[in-house]
Structure formats: structure tokens, C-alpha cells
Structure 1
């Protein structure tokens, strides 16, 4: 039987990145994917019958993917910047208005903050806060593809006050120290809550926040040209050029370690031999197929809604929809509303007001639509709702899903001239072009335990002094590595875990030769 240098379990983008790096180094690589389709969460699909729109069904924006990986693997993959960072509608007691923040913080952004707060202080605080984050990112981001630095090494390189605000203080404390407006604090806080069921008073929010603001040293969130599936397509092309073997419909059931190699057995009864294995799956999945002990798992806590619209919604504020929806559109995400939703969900209640945010891919990149849809004015819209843990859906999934969907859409519609449903396109069967994904559905479709998009709780992107992990991908077996979001510095569409697992694997293959 052929003995591969490496078997990669799972064909998500991290697994494919790892496979490409290993094959580029001359290693024989086999990728085993349990599903019929490849790419995991980084795929594009035509979600609605007869509607030629290739939606990024699961993952949708890119920030953490290092330019170095694109260059190393010669990938024809482009991301497009967004002029608008965010728009947050609000009612000031007399009229509807909105807070506009551009990606390059400019006078328009300052004026919008000053109009909201009736003071210039908040704009000055915003600029200072994010300048310190930029300097922090310029230190941390370049380390993501290197052996894991220690906390003390990173601490020595960053401004002491910034370290206190981002690492030692809770986000709650830092936000209250820097800002006074509840809506402004909420907009900043959202980066600490994506896919993370926690309060601003918990340091888990700090960890999530850091990952969302350091990408490529700028923290800007960019749109994948052609949709997220283009990244998978390019990785598959490169993998095949490099000689990687990929087999779909091969769910791994067991990994057994021998003296010099691993035996990988599938649920269907096939067997493969390899010197090392890279697990592009959640730690809880790896725990089931080998003697690895996964860390405790927190519920995934998001609901994802994909839509195709006949036209962009018109806003009560009168803002140009092409501006308001060009960045992240925040709905009911004030600091109070975010904390209240977390508190209610923690008690097992559906939040009265469900915070959410929306993204319009097609304003930045219309190429995911066919020319006829573009000409007709169609647009895509993605909604990501927070603080909806899997536990809420366990008992009466479909009924809770329906109620949650209703509250989310009503919350969004309160800022529109007409309910969002009236803007939705219809598929060829006459059904509205809207799909809703709960944590349970993400588990079923993607193998994400409890729908946790990060596979496990995020950690700070460094290690404690004395931690023996070199790359942050190690397990209790010297021949098995984590190559997914559950690795240290994993999470998001980044390829970082795949790169780092490949580096650790190459060092191990050389040492065990």
C-alpha cells in the first residue's frame, strides 16, 4: 500500500492551503473530504432555483488572509476594498438618521460622529483609538505566519497603554474609558462578538476583537472578487498542478498510530497510510477519530441569512442605499442592545431585540450576478445575527427558527421605507429568495460542532511563556496537526492555520526521516 507523506482530513480552505504548501515542498499529499463537494465553508453556490447569483453561502468577507499566502501559492485571487466601513441607522428622537464611518477615517466620518453625539470629542476618541489599534496590528499581524511568539515578546513591542486596553482590560472597560456614546461603543464592540457568545465583560471578546482588527496589518474587511468560491477554485487548481490527490465522499472514521506511520480508515472501509496527518476539521471531530482531547466547546451563536433583492431597500433616513449598504450595515447593535441580547439568550430566551449586521457583496463586486440580473438592478444581501446560541434551537428548532427570523427581519425593516420582504426577488418557483441558517444547520452541512464557526474558543494570537507549542497546531501526537480554525491563530478565512500546520509538518517529516 502506498504511504503518503501527508493526509489532510478535510478540504476547507485551510486544508487546501496546507496541501499546497506540502506538495510545493515535494511531499506526496492526499486530501480526504467527507462531503461530495469541496471547499467547506469557503464556497459559492446558486442558492435559489433559476436565479443566477453565486452567493458566498457561509463565509463572505476576507481580512485575515495574508497576502503572503496568495503570493507563495501563486493564487489568482483578488479582494476588493470597501470605501464605506459601516453605516448604523438610528432614531434621534425626532428623525431617522445614520452614523457613517468610511474605511479611511475622513471628514465625512468625523461630521457623522459629531452629528450623532453633538460633540467633536467622540470623533477624536475614535481616531485615537483606531490609530493605536493600527500600530498594534502592525506588530502582531506579521507574526501570524511565524512560530508563535510569547506574550512577553509581543508585550515588549507594543505601546503599554494599548496593551492594557486590548489585552488586560476587558473590552467593556476600554470602551467605557474611550467613548461615551452607547451607539458608538456598540459599533466598536461588534468586532468582539462575531461568532462569539460572550459579554463585553469577558476577555473572550478581547480575543475575538483582536482577530477582527489586525488582518494584513490594516484590519480592513474586503470583498472576495467573484465570491468566496473563487478562493477554493484557485486552491484546487494549484493543488492539482502540484500533484495533490483529492478524494471526496471519504469520511474518516479512525486514525491509528503505528511506529513509523499512521493508518487512516474511512467510515466506508477504505484505508490509507501516511507519515503524518493534518486535521482540517474541528478539534471535537478529531477527538472522535483519535485519542486527541479537545478543549471545551462553546455553542455557535449566530444565524446567517442570505438574500437576493430586486433592488436595494430605501431607508427612512434618506441615506443613499448605495452608500449605506456598501460597508457593514449595523442593526440594533448599540452597546446596551448587544449586552441585553446576550443576557436574555444566556437565560434561554430569544432576545427581544436581535442585533445583526448586513453586507451587500454586489455593490462592490457585481460579478457574482449574471449580466441580466445586474441590468435589472438585482443585489445580494447577507445578514449575520448575533447572540443566538445553538441551545435556543435545541428543543423546537423549526418554531424557534421561524420566530428568530421574524424578529431579525422586523428589526431590520424598522429602518426601511417598506418591509424587507417586499424587496426580495423570487425564484423560478415563485418563492422569495431568502434562506436562513441556524447553528444546527451549520453543524449538519459543514460539520461545525454546535455551529461554532471558530471550531472552539479563540485564543490570543500568542502563547504564554513556557508553552512548548512552536506553531500552535500541535496535538498529543507528534504525527497529527490541527490545520483548521481550532488551531492557535486559526479562525476566519485566513489560511493561517493551514500554512502553520504545513510548516510544522515539514519540520516533523524532516526530523522523522
Structure 2
């Protein structure tokens, strides 16, 4: 029986990124995936004839350009189409437009408040400063502050130098920013409800927190660190849906000689003598390997795929306490024609990007109150995109695909499992809100895919349907992600590594956890890393 140099569990984007780097370094790598398709949460699937659904992840921005270059993803067909802006609809029939161009955005703010338009320059400057501070850390392994190893000491010195390079005012702002709520943060700049609601949305997407919860300001920063064609903070659609990202990764991996086995669900990791020796599939087949890399979240990896007797009790306790709380769902809709939004001027480019219908922070907070009570929100926050306005490959001519990301949806409904009736009620809350702003919307629906946390966990394997594989709060970042002492992609079991979004720097279709984990594995194996972009190499 063949023994592989490395076995990667899960063909999501981080697993594929990790596998690509290991394969290119000369290892013989096998990726095992439980589904018949690759991609994890970044997939494109034809669920209605002629319509391609980005049925989980739906926009591209966070994916690191260094990884795209290293793995030659454009050569394997990946193309990201940037979009310009979007709109927030207000209940009085008006709208706030979003534009990628800073000056155009500022002029739109002035339509509501001249004071807020002037404050926008200060806000953009302060958020950009935070992005510049944290962005270089994305592609670095977080240091272990308890370690005396030269690498960790060097990294801590590096962090200290970055922080000491800030002025006293900037230091105070940075510490406050990482811990305060997005609502409080925006109150320091703006006075207009719809403007604050527009900017607050990035602080709650995918997070089991409300806009008034501490820590949500950092979540906004996490979403702002994306880059498309060199434009930091830009967003775009992957041509052919988000599955185009993972298809390019899979093609890059195979071109380097890697092997992917679909419909190969892992039952558990083989461990002998405190070291990973391979995996056992659900059907009982054993696949030996010299090391194993898990792209599953930290709870699924160590509470389901590894026997508890193989792990220290303190480690297990910290894994159990790691916060992974489902808070969102998806409704994907095939439309027989372009929906109308009477509030927008005819021909407005705003329909080519994010559309939102929650015009105050208070409405977002009330939606979060429903989640805390164990209910889906009757007035949910929706992030709606119609990628077919820029990418006609995803639907038949004249027809459109709409993706609706929904906040909030609890992992349990009042303490019990979701039922199909609950799922239908959840979908109706989404359709009803869109229909309030788009006359005739219901009549345009050809097909819907409704994904509550139940469906997301069952299909994608994300615990409780949490899209980030763990909350992005300050206590779960850097050397605390996923647990102290194990933030460098290793585990208590020799040869068993983590590469998923439960590790630094966190979730989103970013690829950094997979790349950083590969760097650490190759370091342990004393393999060269010249095929990796050196821009953010660790010490």
C-alpha cells in the first residue's frame, strides 16, 4: 500500500493552497475530500439548469495576491472582476450609493450630511492605518510569547517595533479599535444612520455578535484587508463563481503532480506512538502517510477525527472552549429576469455590487437579538449580490443569479435542530424583505437553494455553520488562534498539522492559513521554500 508524504484532509481553498505548496516543494501529496466535488465553501454548482450557484462564499477580495502569483492561478483560469460599489436602501424610498472611488463616495455622503462627508476622510485614513499595521502579519506565523526560540523572540521584537513606531495617539486608537464595537467606533466619526449602517455591515458579517458588541470593529478591518488588481479594500466576482478559485487551485495542484480523491470522507486520523501515521476513511480503508494536515476546523479535527486519549486534557479543554458559533445562512436564487429596484436611477451601476436593506445600526442589533433568542431574524441583515450583472457565464442569456448572505441564523432553533419548516420560514423572511424594495420580485424566482447552519455544517463540514471556523475576536487572534501554545499550525500529535481558518489569520477565502501552515511544515522537514513568495517570510 502506498504511503504518501502528506495527506491533506479537505479540499477547501486552504487545504488546496497547502497541498499546492507542499507538492511544489517536492512532497508526494494526497488530498482527500468527502464530497464528490472540490472547493469546500468556495464552490460553483449548477443546481438549476444553466445557472451556476456560488452556494456558500460569494465574493472575492481577501485572497492573497502573493498566493495567486506563487501558484500561477491566472494561468489556470482564475479571473476576478472588480465591482464598483453598491447601495443601501432606506425605508423612506431613498438610497445611499457606494462607490469604490473615494471622492465619489465622499460626494454621496455629502448628499446626506456635509459633516459626515468631511469625517469620511478622517475615517478612511484611520482605517487604512489599521490595515497597514495588520496586513503584513497575515502571511507571517504568529509568535509564541511563551517560547524562548530565536524565531519567536524575533517575531515578538518585530511586533514590538511595529507598535513602537506608532505615535501615542495611534497606539491608543489601535488598542481601542481592536476591542471596541463597530457601533461605538462609527459614532466617533458619523451622525447619519444610513451611513453608519452602511459601514457597520462589515463588522458583523459571519460573526455571532451584534454591531454593539465589543470586538466587531476588528471584524470590519478583517473584511477591509482584501485586494483586487492591487486595489486594497476592493471586492470582485470570480468569473464562473467562487468555484473558479478552488478549480484553479486544484488544477495547479494536479499540474504539479498532486492527487485528489473525492468521495473519500475521513473517519479518523491514524495515530501511533504519539505521531500521525495516516487516515482511515469512513468505509474503513487505511491510507498511510508520513504527515497529516487538517483543513477542518479545530473542533472537528480534535473532537471528532482524533481519539481524545491521544490529546492532553488542557488542550482538549481549550479546544472545547474555542468559540465557533453559527450565525448566518444563505439563500441562492435563480431569476428569470433582472429584478427592479425603483429607488435606484435607471441604469445605475449600484446593482452590480452589494445591495443592503438594513438602514440603521439599531435594526442590525434587533436582528442580533433574535439570534440570541434562538430565532432566525424576521428583519434580517442581507448582503445581496447579482454577479451575473458582470459575469454572464453564471446564467442563461437574460437571466440572473442572486446570492443572499443572511445575518442572523442560529445553529439551533430555540434549542432544537432545524426542521424543513424552519428552513422555509427562514427563506420567507429573506424573500419578503427583498420584495419590499423590488416589486414583482417573487414572480421572477425560478429556483432557490436555502442553506441554514444545518445545511452548511452537513455539506461543508463547518461546525455550526460558522464561516470563519471560529470567532474573529481579540481573544482568538494571533498567538491565541486557535489555542495558546498551538498557534503555529502544529498540534500535540507529531506530524498532525492544521491549515484551516481556525488558525491565524482567520477566515474568509484568503489562503493565508494554508500557505503559512505549508511554510511551517517545510521548515520542520528542512525543505526549501524558494517557491514561496518571500515578501512576508517569517524570521
1:380 to 388, 397, 401: 401
Give distance in 2, aligned partners of 1:253 and 1:342. Answer: 36
Is the Cα contact below 8 Å between 1:474 and 1:482 reproduced in 2? yes
List aligned pairs for 1:133-282, cutoff 5 A. 133-148=127-142, 152=160, 154-157=162-165, 159-160=170-171, 162-216=173-227, 218-259=232-273, 262-282=277-297
Deviations along 1:201-237, whole A, 9 cap, x unmatched? 3334234222101124712222112221222221121
The aligned counterpart of 1:36 is 36
Is the Cα contact below 8 Å between 1:332 and 1:356 reproduced in 2? yes
Matched, 1:482 2:476: no
Give distance in 2, aligned partners of 1:169 and 1:438. Answer: 29
1:68 to 63, 66, 69: 66
Is the Cα contact below 8 Å between 1:471 and 1:504 reproduced in 2? no
Is the Cα contact below 8 Å between 1:139 and 1:157 reproduced in 2? no
Is the Cα contact below 8 Å between 1:354 and 1:386 reproduced in 2? yes
Displacement after TM superposition at 1:20 (Å): 0.7
Name which of structure 1's ranges 395-404 and 448-457 shifts more when overlaid on structure 2: 395-404
Is the Cα contact below 8 Å between 1:186 and 1:333 reproduced in 2? yes
The aligned counterpart of 1:9 is 9
The aligned counterpart of 2:116 is 122
Displacement after TM superposition at 1:29 (Å): 0.9
Displacement after TM superposition at 1:40 (Å): 1.3
TM-score w.r.t. the length of structure 1 is 0.89
Using a 3 Å threshold, how does the CA distance of structure 1 residues 435 and 23 change in structure 2: closer, same or farther?
same
Is the Cα contact below 8 Å between 1:459 and 1:488 reproduced in 2? no
The aligned counterpart of 2:431 is 409
- Tell me the secondary structure at the aligned position of residue 422 of structure 2: helix
Deviations along 1:369-406, whole A, 9 cap, x unmatched? 3xxx33xx222211111022122273452222222222
Using a 3 Å threshold, how does the CA distance of structure 1 residues 201 and 478 change in structure 2: closer, same or farther?
farther
Deviations along 1:79-113, whole A, 9 cap, x unmatched? 121112x3011134xxx111012012223x33332
Using a 3 Å threshold, how does the CA distance of structure 1 residues 333 and 485 change in structure 2: closer, same or farther?
farther
Give distance in 2, aligned partners of 1:405 and 1:157. Answer: 49
2:327 to 286, 296, 301: 301
Deviations along 1:479-503, whole A, 9 cap, x unmatched? 2111111112131111111101111
List aligned pairs for 1:434-445, cutoff 5 A. 434-445=448-459
Matched, 1:91 2:106: no
- Tell me the secondary structure at the aligned position of residue 47 of structure 1: strand
Q: Which runs of 4+ in 1 moved over 4 A?
A: 149-154, 467-471
Displacement after TM superposition at 1:459 (Å): 4.6
- Tell me the secondary structure at the aligned position of residue 4 of structure 1: coil
List alignment gaps of at least 5 residues for structure 1: 425-431
Displacement after TM superposition at 1:469 (Å): 5.6
Deviations along 1:104-161, whole A, 9 cap, x unmatched? 2223x33332223xx3111122232122222322332232112225564553355335
Give distance in 2, aligned partners of 1:350 and 1:236. Answer: 36
Give distance in 1, aligned partners of 2:357 and 2:347. Answer: 15
Name which of structure 1's ranges 25-34 and 316-325 shifts more when overlaid on structure 2: 316-325
The aligned counterpart of 2:152 is none
Name which of structure 1's ranges 171-180 and 3-12 shifts more when overlaid on structure 2: 171-180
Give distance in 2, aligned partners of 1:351 and 1:35. Answer: 30
2:102 to 94, 105, 119: 105
Give distance in 2, aligned partners of 1:153 and 1:99. Answer: 41
Displacement after TM superposition at 1:326 (Å): 1.4
Using a 3 Å threshold, how does the CA distance of structure 1 residues 207 and 472 change in structure 2: closer, same or farther?
farther
Give distance in 1, aligned partners of 2:239 and 2:173. Answer: 34
Superposed CA RMSD in Å reads 2.4
- Tell me the secondary structure at the aligned position of residue 473 of structure 1: coil
Give distance in 2, aligned partners of 1:495 and 1:183. Answer: 33
Give distance in 2, aligned partners of 1:347 and 1:154. Answer: 42
Displacement after TM superposition at 1:43 (Å): 1.2
Give distance in 2, aligned partners of 1:468 and 1:314. Answer: 51
Displacement after TM superposition at 1:336 (Å): 0.5
The aligned counterpart of 1:423 is 444
The aligned counterpart of 1:427 is none
Is the Cα contact below 8 Å between 2:204 and 2:219 reproduced in 1? yes
List alignment gaps of at least 5 residues for structure 2: 143-154, 528-539
Is the Cα contact below 8 Å between 1:459 and 1:489 reproduced in 2? no
What number of residue pairs does the alignment pair up?
488
The aligned counterpart of 1:429 is none
Give distance in 2, aligned partners of 1:490 and 1:263. Answer: 26
Using a 3 Å threshold, how does the CA distance of structure 1 residues 248 and 106 change in structure 2: closer, same or farther?
same
Using a 3 Å threshold, how does the CA distance of structure 1 residues 262 and 501 change in structure 2: closer, same or farther?
same
- Tell me the secondary structure at the aligned position of residue 390 of structure 1: coil
